[in-house]
Amino acid sequence: MKIKILPLISFVIPTLNASNILSKCLESIRTQHYPQKNIEIVIADGGSIDNTRDIGKKFHAKVINNPEILHEPGKSIASKIAKGDIIFYTDSDNILTHPHWISMMVKPYLENSNVIGFLPQTIPAPDSNSLDRYLGYLTTDPFTWFIYDMTASPSDYTHNYKPIKSTKEYMLYQFPLTNIPLFGLSQGVGVIKKFKKNKKAYSDDLLAGIKLIEERGIIAYIPKAGVYHYHVDGYINFIKKYTWRVRNNLNQQIQGMGITNRTQYFPKRRIIRMYLFVPYGITILFAFIDSIKLSIKHHDAVMLLHPLACFILSIIIIKEYFQFILQKNKNLGTYQ
């Protein structure tokens, strides 16, 4: 069944001291060729001490408090009050790349009311640094990319899944529960109103994506609806960011989050790859072979950074694991 009325759109954005990038994010939303009266922006701020909140208000966003500070709880808090027929989960470091992004994203829904999820394509920003560009091509971090392999990026989905419909503008999928792709509620991914991210069990964006797929609805992938994602601003930022993430996963202080909660949905092959990542990263050889393949695939020599990134992340995992065993370094801080 086709939808005749343009849906109300909500963008849910968690923030914490994001003044350096938030303006670009919000401007890419407010300059969309889509009725602005049909666009709502809800910012859940974790206590910024810069002018993040003022920037949000400048772009007519609804700014609310996020007492839990971190991004994932912030998304849940904001989604509870979002009024949109479709809710897009966007981070402050995401930039919509096309002025018709919303129109492209909602088109599958307008043509098929059974669509419940909307998947754009994250891509490297043209002004990003080399490490950021490498991560942009992966669409995720090296550890997650290694686990999910050819199901990590929607651009590779056709290697594993057959679309139930394919047009020039989009592809429709109904993913099997035995081999769920990397699909989380972040980086511009959208859901219909009835699937609100408002339960503690959905605090983790990937678990929320899994719950969405379990509802057996149709997921639309819109390849031309790009999202620039600024991952890191350099190697020091990379180390800090993933040290925090590894430590958070080991300590599991936020209920319903982290890889330990996701593994119940992993097929055996994916669990094996999870444990193989550290030797893969430390030995370098196989990561180097993959870097050659990735450089050819993306036509960019920046993918030769893959062995170095995998090695650094492996060292972080080893260091944080032993500190966890020794009951040291349980202070997570607020890095997001």
- Of 33-37, 75-79, 103-107, where does mean pLDDT reach its minimum? 75-79
Domain definitions of the chain by residue range: 9-229, 235-325
Superfamily of domain 9-229 in CATH is Spore Coat Polysaccharide Biosynthesis Protein SpsA; Chain A (3.90.550.10)
Expressed in percent and rounded to 5, the helix, strand and coil fractions of the chain are 45, 15, 35
- The predicted-structure confidence for 181-227, as pLDDT tens digits, reads as follows 988 889 999 999 887 554 444 457 788 888 888 888 899 999 999 99
Phi, psi of 136 (to 5 degrees): -65, -40
Whether the pLDDT of residue 68 is over 50: the answer is: yes
- Among 249, 253, 275, which residue's Cα sits nearest to residue 262? 249
Amino acid at 319: K
Give the pLDDT confidence score for residue 201 in this predicted structure. Answer: 43
DSSP assignment of 49-84: SSSHHHHHHHTT-EEEE-TT-SHHHHHHHHHHH---
DSSP 8-state symbol, 134: H
**What's the CA gap between 241 and 291, in Å, rounded?**
22
- The predicted-structure confidence for 281-310, as pLDDT tens digits, reads as follows 999 999 999 999 999 999 999 999 999 999
The more confidently predicted of residues 330 and 95 is 95
3-state secondary structure of 295: helix
The more confidently predicted of residues 193 and 329 is 193
User: For residue 1, what pLDDT band results from cuts at 50, 70 and 90?
Assistant: low
CB–CB of 164/221 below 8 Å?
Answer: no
Tell me the residue ranges of DSSP E strands in the chain.
9-15, 39-45, 62-65, 86-89, 94-96, 115-123, 165-166, 171-173, 189-192, 218-229
Tokens of residue 102, six digits: 């919303």
Tokens of residue 297, six digits: 């695939």
**What's the CA gap between 79 and 6, in Å, rounded?**
20
Residue range 93-118: mean pLDDT, rounded = 95
pTM of this prediction?
A: 0.91
Percent share of the chain, pLDDT over 90 = 71
Size of the chain, expressed as the number of residues it contains? 336
Whether the pLDDT of residue 134 is over 70: the answer is: yes
Amino acid at 99: P
- CA–CA distances in Å: residue 186 to residues 4, 18, 33, 155: 27, 16, 22, 17
